[in-house]
Amino acid sequence: MPKWGYSIITEDLDSEKTVKASGREVRVSHKHAREVCRTLKGMMLAQAKTYLQDVMEKKRAIPFRRYQKKAGHRRGLDRAFAGRYPIKAAQKTLKILQSAQANAENKGLDIDRLKIVHAAAYPGTKVKRYTPRAHGRASPKYDTLTHIEIVLGEKPGQGET
């Protein structure tokens, strides 16, 4: 059994008010997943779910800040011009977000007050394959898998401190 942990320090989190979910070795672009996670971080749960639905329907774009070479401009982006519609990364991230929501329901947290405290994506294992070339040669072909992790925290209500 492999050992892995979250990229956020879990000792700093209140275990009674936070929930975690992760997708390991997901077959999605780690560059797209990184931009999706960066966009979602700090959003409320319901807002993030509708945002990802809009991305999958190509109504709203994900702003690309780091991986933006040859990415066209999209309308409606805040503080960024380049953007894309990474549908596959949005689908996988939404699935992990729903898993975190199920964990929160199981823990008895208020779903309406959940906020994305931590969202990260980084490259995982490289799957090496070969593609045949001319004259009996072969070239390596790498498929990089992705780790996606999301931590939700319950925001304090109006009567709480």
Helix (H) or strand (E) holding 100: helix 87-107
Mean pLDDT of the chain: 91
Vertex 84 angle, CA 78 and 88, to 5°: 125
Whether the predicted pLDDT of 112 surpasses 80: yes
Q: What pLDDT, on a 0 to 100 scale, did the predictor assign at position 159?
A: 57
Mean pLDDT across 1-23: 84
**Most confident listed range (9-18, 66-75, 122-131, 151-160):** 122-131
Q: Nearest-CA neighbor of 102 among 140, 152, 54?
A: 152
Helix, strand or coil, per DSSP, at residue 44: strand
Helix (H) or strand (E) holding 34: helix 30-40
Whether the predicted pLDDT of 4 surpasses 90: no
HEC sequence for 117-140: EEEEEEEEEEEEEEEECHHHCEEE
Percent of the chain with pLDDT over 90: 73
Topology at the third CATH level for domain 17-154: Ribosomal Protein L22; Chain A (3.90.470)
Tell me, what amino acid is at 15? S
Q: Where are the domains of the chain?
A: 17-154
Q: pTM surpassing 0.85?
A: yes
